[in-house]
Amino acid sequence: MMSATVTIHHDQPIGTVSPRLYGHFAEHLGRCCYDGLFVGKDSSVPNIGGFRKDIVEALRAMPTPLLRWPGGCYADHYHWKDGIGPDRPVRLGMSCGLQVLDTNELGTDEFLALCELIGAEPYLAGNVGSGTPEELCHWVEYCNAALPTTLVQERQRNGREDPWKVKLWGIGNENWGCGGNYDAESYALEYRRYSLMVQHVDPSIEMVVCGHDTDWNRRCIDKLRNHMNFVDHYSIHRYWIHGGHGVDFTEDEYYALLDEADATEDFIVETRAFLEEACGGKRHVGIALDEWGVWHAESRNWGPGGCASSSNDYSQACTMRDAVATAVGLEVFHRQCRSLSMANLAQITNVLHAPIMTEGDAMWLTPTYYALQMHKCHIGQTAVGTAVKDGPKQPSGKAAVSATATQRGVTITNRHLHESTDVVVSGSYTDGTILSAHAPNAQNSAAASPIAPKPLTMQAEGDGVRIHLPPFSIATLTV
């Protein structure tokens, strides 16, 4: 097999890789928040204000520039006043068909304090489905106002003197479904009402519209066309669901999942065209891919092969294949960094495509955690063009080697399920790391974490370096 070559075109800048493209999502679903991120102040598990200390450290190191909360579908049942102050009611927590006892121990001030602790920008999802514009206005006032209103004084009594200055506010979540079963036009009208009222409270906030599929997006954006000055971000969600079971998947399913990750780009491009047409060049609305990731068959009872059991808690295997899919997704996000204004992996702990898992006292990092961390050098940098030549091909005929680069380095993925390859990469590099595993369905666990980045061997060759990539592996070379 002829080596692949990767050429970095520093003279072809694409745009800035915003830290917001490396965002995350924490929903009150399964064991993501309670018994995951948050164990409570009285837990025997070491914690900071109720948040697991080991997770706080892992989130800082990943890093976690942006964190969305409290849902997801949970957001449209969530009443924020239940989660502040000393007396918190126990409610029915509801999301995605799960019903749990919700103590509200983790509320607004706790979440925003976590964000400060880990260096994340908060993104709060408002309740449209079972809430009111007034409730959302009050939430914005509680978080962001400086004048000594009754709500602001309440915030101060709860320990926060200065405004939290939360910039990002979602106006509902998936309002085409769990967020109220709206049709596109009715939701757009609600958006116009909510966004106007909320913006009166704090004109500096950025608001996010709920998008969906092609038909919804065309109709919703059309209904908003004379109100685009109230639209900062337009949300779309993309779950990759054609990969079969998390661990027991076929070769076809392996490639189908990666193709689906790639195809996210077409959906971004299509959504961008609708927004451009509606804005007529007068405004740039960012696309917020505020839920993305793999969603395997065993954790859902919808979509291809969906076979979740009645005890589904939305946790799933997080394997090396998922890390490769992550790298493929991040290539798309870098290529589309002028269109995308944020991206949030679903979800941060224990649920779906999680970078962090816990079981009792134990905490471990999944291959996806490391795939994300290996992209740290790109955050805030300028994405540039790359070109791949030769090397192994996927069954579809597409090159198996792919890459994304910024001024600070290049990340290269060998998507092939069986073939390893040498890659000659243009440029000179000081460091390199590689993430690989003995099998595509290998995963870390509470007992052992064999999948972690290792030093990459680089040999100088011509005006670049030669590296070796095993099948389903990811390497980052940094300048």
- Catalogue the active-site residues: 174, 291
- Helix H or strand E segment including 24: strand 23-25
Among 35, 121, 141, 174, binds ligand AHR (CB under 6 A): 174
CA nearest 237: which of 141, 159, 342, 151? 342
Check if the beta carbon of residue 311 is closer than 8 Å to that of residue 393.
no
Stretch that binds ligand AHR, among 71-79, 216-224, 327-335, 379-387 (CB under 6 A): 71-79
Find the shortest distance in angstroms from Cβ 293 to ligand AHR: 8
Does residue 368 bind ligand AHR (CB under 6 A)?
Answer: no
Check if the beta carbon of residue 6 is closer than 8 Å to that of residue 410.
yes
3-state secondary structure 342-384: EEEEECCECCCCCCEEEECCEEEECHHHHHHHCCHHHCCCEEE
Among 65, 71, 126, 453, binds ligand AHR (CB under 6 A): 71
User: Going residue by residue from 237 to 276, which x/- string records binding to ligand AHR, judged by CB under 6 A?
Assistant: ----------------------------------------
Among 232, 260, 291, 331, binds ligand AHR (CB under 6 A): 291
DSSP state of 186: H
CB atoms within 10 A of CB 187: 27
Among 39, 346, 379, 465, binds ligand AHR (CB under 6 A): 346
Name the residue nearer to ligand AHR (CB basis): 211 or 471: 211
**∠ CA 412-418-423 to the nearest 5 degrees?**
30
Give the span between the Cα atoms of 52 and 38, in whole angstroms. Answer: 6
Does residue 72 bind ligand AHR (CB under 6 A)?
Answer: yes
Give the span between the Cα atoms of 404 and 416, in whole angstroms. Answer: 17
E strand intervals along 61-147: 66-69, 91-95, 98-102, 121-125
Name the residue nearer to ligand AHR (CB basis): 27 or 253: 27
Name the residue nearer to ligand AHR (CB basis): 137 or 354: 354
Does residue 331 bind ligand AHR (CB under 6 A)?
Answer: no
Size of the site for ligand AHR (CB under 6 A): 13
Stretch that binds ligand AHR, among 70-78, 279-287, 336-344, 398-406 (CB under 6 A): 70-78
Among 6, 56, 73, 371, binds ligand AHR (CB under 6 A): 73
Find the shortest distance in angstroms from Cβ 178 to ligand AHR: 6
Stretch that binds ligand AHR, among 67-75, 202-210, 279-287, 373-381 (CB under 6 A): 67-75
Name the residue nearer to ligand AHR (CB basis): 27 or 232: 27
Q: How many residues in total does the chain contain?
A: 479
Stretch that binds ligand AHR, among 52-60, 68-76, 322-330, 331-339 (CB under 6 A): 68-76
Give the span between the Cα atoms of 174 and 71, in whole angstroms. Answer: 10
The values of phi and psi at residue 7, to 5°, are: -110, 130
Does residue 279 bind ligand AHR (CB under 6 A)?
Answer: no
| Nearest residue to ligand AHR, scored by beta-carbon proximity | 72
Find the shortest distance in angstroms from Cβ 169 to ligand AHR: 16
Does residue 173 bind ligand AHR (CB under 6 A)?
Answer: yes
* SS3 call for 90: coil
Does residue 96 bind ligand AHR (CB under 6 A)?
Answer: yes
End-to-end CA distance of the chain: 28
E strand intervals along 174-272: 206-210, 233-240
Residues that bind ligand AHR (CB under 6 A): 27, 29, 71-73, 95-96, 173-174, 291, 346-347, 352
